[in-house]
Amino acid sequence: MPRSVVHSRRLSSRDDPVPVLEDLLNCAGGLPGDLGPGDLVLIKPNFVAPLPRATTDFTFIEFFATRIREAGAVPIVGESSGYEFDTNKTFEILGIGPYLAERGIEIVNFEEHGYAPVDLGRGMPVVDVAEPALRAKWIVNLPVLKGHTITKVTGAVKNLFGMLSLDSRRRLHVRGLHAGIAAVARHFANALHVVDARDLLTRAVFGETRPLDYCLAGTDPFALDHFGSGLLAIDAGAVRHLGRVPEYDVRGAAPPACADLSTATTPKQRLHRLLYSAFYWLDGVKCGTVGGKSIIPHLHWTLGVHPALGDVTDAELRELAALCPVEAISVERRSIIKERCVAVRCLKCYREGPPGSIRLGGLNPPRRRSAR
pLDDT in tens, 106-152: 999 999 999 999 999 878 889 999 999 999 999 999 999 998 878 88
Please report, as a single letter, which amino acid is at residue 219: T
pLDDT of amino acid 371: 36
Mean pLDDT, residues 313-340 taken together:
96
Which DSSP string do the residues of 355-366 spell out, in sequence order?
A: TTSEEEESSS--
d(CA 60, CA 93): 18
Pick the more confident residue, 180 or 369: 180
pLDDT at 370 over 80: no
Across the chain, how many H-helices and E-strands are there?
Answer: 14, 16
Q: Do the beta carbons of residue 191 and residue 141 sit within 8 Å?
A: yes
Q: Do the beta carbons of residue 20 and residue 11 sit within 8 Å?
A: yes
Q: Predicted confidence band at 369 (pLDDT cuts at 50, 70, 90)? A: very low
pLDDT digits (tens, 9 = 90+) for 207-244: 667 889 999 999 999 999 999 999 998 999 989 999 98
d(CA 372, CA 367): 15
Pick the more confident residue, 262 or 325: 325
pLDDT of amino acid 179: 94
Percent of the chain with pLDDT strictly greater than 70: 92
Helix (H) or strand (E) holding 271: helix 267-289
pLDDT digits (tens, 9 = 90+) for 53-85: 899 999 999 999 999 999 999 999 999 999 889
pLDDT digits (tens, 9 = 90+) for 258-308: 655 565 566 766 776 677 777 777 877 778 777 778 888 888 888 778 999
d(CA 137, CA 37): 12
d(CA 165, CA 142): 19
CA quadruple 40, 75, 200, 219: dihedral, nearest 10: 40
pLDDT of amino acid 293: 82
List strand residue ranges (DSSP E) for the chain, in order.
4-10, 40-44, 74-79, 106-109, 115-118, 127-130, 138-141, 146-148, 152-154, 191-201, 209-218, 248-252, 306-309, 329-330, 335-336, 358-361
Sheet holding 40-44, edge to edge: 106-109, 74-79, 40-44, 138-141, 191-201, 209-218, 4-10, 248-252
- Provide the mean pLDDT of the chain: 90
pLDDT of amino acid 205: 64
Question: Whole-prediction pTM value?
Answer: 0.92
- 123 alpha carbon, distance to own chain's centre: 26
d(CA 146, CA 203): 6
Closest by Cα among 305, 299, 146, 353 to 234: 146
pLDDT of amino acid 261: 56
